[in-house]
Structure 1
């Protein structure tokens, strides 16, 4: 879990027409081939939509290769939205921002960066998902309401449970529900299956002392009810403005099945597969 707190990044954007919004992204290594890969930041399409400028911070590393607490560097990009690669399915709210050039430039300038990229091997397949129960312990790491430890560049950790089976397509979509509140800034947060110290499988078998960490999904929306009693599933907002009291979150989040990340990886491969790849290490 300590490593996973360094796998996310707070994305802040300046919007066309004015205004600032925040969301969450997380580091991943795509197209791994030995020590080579294409490093990206995965987030939601709606986090980067209509963004004129994007910025985020990356923690610096010590000589020993550990995070240098209190030391981080800001990166800023004009035309941020156009630099991202969207999932090819319009209905899947995922996008990737390739960061290989940033890492290469930092290395050439002698600026050591510390971040923990996730590997696609953390994504459970269909068969493994079928072995899960409808109620699993999950952890979501991100920046609700844009809140972060701005001194140490650290995110907010929230714990909950799955509110629907993570292997069953909710309403026919490759999504599942979580019992975790959705607030502005949570969009793009990774949702991890997190069993530390033991767990029980669907058949009732107990695994004491065992750990299980899997990337189950990516948070992108939440359920709201209005003053008139209507229930709506809405994209988790990114704008840091007060939400009218007539729209009240009911602590149900909607996560995209992480298997859709593999579709995003294939799109990145199609777009940048011929470019020079970057060395990278992952969890």
Structure 2
């Protein structure tokens, strides 16, 4: 009873951020003690009493866990932002993008053709993104301008493989240019790792974006399309660095994250319980399709998200600093 009185008082005195560390440390020490006891000459009653007390302490820890900070919407919707492209003062196009954080650096990820597309002669010189400035009132937001060139050099990072260019780009965001406060969530390397099983054909996905620019214009939130994996995951479809999804998509969705929900997330993914599988690029169709007799395939290309580990590698200049 004395321990039961002490533990809640201790938790109340600890910073909120320390609670998760305490729980993990408790479980680790409990497992170490369990291993020692299992190899000691003890009666079964002692072992059962130990397990009962561990369960009781676990319940105390769970009952005194601090409430999660209140937010106005699901975190996944705050990972994605509308991307508007400009050439000088002229508005060119709209697309989707999402935030990715690595080693304390923040990146905006989108499709490479959003930033430069030789086929359509699309060459913007800057983009604008939108970020929220109040975690409870989502009508408050700020537009942030991001230059695409400095000194005549493109600022985004892109990649190529044996099949050619990868339609994914990442541009680092100068966090000093963001408003204070800035309410956003970012994926990280931990969201690229599988959890709860390997992704397979038919798995349910979501694509978070701005199709045809459509979104909640009052709260500046994206919309979500349901999708499924439509080709062998882990296999480069037709030797390209993407897999297929089955979803209804439109222009403006380029650069949207393709996500699979994780039902039992680890601690580092508890706030964003998603696996980042891909980056939506474009719809796929058959050139031989009869536009009158045949419906569209309804399939889309999603580039494998692990390319982000290459696109967000620290540069030599960053490592030298």
Tell me the TM-score normalised to structure 2 length. Answer: 0.64
Distance 1:272 1:163 in 2: 41
**Mapped contact 2:196–2:263 kept (Cα < 8 A):** no
The alignment partner of 2:310 has SS state of helix
Report what 2:185 is aligned to: 116
Q: Deviations over 1:169-216 (max 9, x none)?
A: 211222110001231111101001125589xxxxxxxxxxxx962111
**Mapped contact 2:85–2:124 kept (Cα < 8 A):** yes
Report what 1:252 is aligned to: 299
Report what 1:75 is aligned to: 144
Report what 1:229 is aligned to: 289
**Mapped contact 2:212–2:252 kept (Cα < 8 A):** yes
Q: Relative to 1, partners in 2 of residues 1:69 and 1:18: Cα closer, same or farther, differing over 3 Å? A: closer
Q: Relative to 1, partners in 2 of residues 1:272 and 1:40: Cα closer, same or farther, differing over 3 Å? A: farther
The alignment partner of 1:171 has SS state of helix
Q: 2:128 aligns with which of 55, 60, 66?
A: 55
Deviation at 1:67, TM superposition (A): 4.4
Q: 2:166 aligns with which of 85, 88, 92?
A: 92
Residue 252 of structure 2 is aligned to residue 185 of structure 1: yes
Q: Deviations over 1:124-177 (max 9, x none)?
A: 36xx79833211110100011111212211001111211012222211222110
**Mapped contact 2:110–2:170 kept (Cα < 8 A):** yes
The alignment partner of 1:150 has SS state of coil
Q: 2:80 aligns with which of 8, 19, 35?
A: 8
Q: Relative to 1, partners in 2 of residues 1:147 and 1:274: Cα closer, same or farther, differing over 3 Å? A: same
Report what 1:216 is aligned to: 277
Residue 243 of structure 2 is aligned to residue 176 of structure 1: yes
Query: Where does structure 1 lack aligned partners over 5 or more consecutive residues?
Result: 199-210, 232-244, 277-283
The alignment partner of 1:69 has SS state of coil
Higher strand proportion, which one?
1
Query: Where does structure 2 lack aligned partners over 5 or more consecutive residues?
Result: 1-72, 117-122, 266-271
Residue 315 of structure 2 is aligned to residue 270 of structure 1: yes
Deviation at 1:15, TM superposition (A): 4.2
Distance 2:250 2:295 in 1: 10
- Number of residue pairs the alignment of both structures matches: 232
Q: Deviations over 1:8-67 (max 9, x none)?
A: 01001124896621111100102x2xxxx1111011110111113311111003xxxx24
Q: Relative to 1, partners in 2 of residues 1:185 and 1:247: Cα closer, same or farther, differing over 3 Å? A: farther
Mark the structure with the bigger radius of gyration: 2
**Mapped contact 1:224–1:248 kept (Cα < 8 A):** no
RMSD over aligned CA atoms reads 3.2
Q: Relative to 1, partners in 2 of residues 1:160 and 1:88: Cα closer, same or farther, differing over 3 Å? A: closer
The structure showing larger relative contact order (alpha-carbon pairs under 8 Å, at least 6 residues apart) is: 1
Q: Relative to 1, partners in 2 of residues 1:113 and 1:252: Cα closer, same or farther, differing over 3 Å? A: same
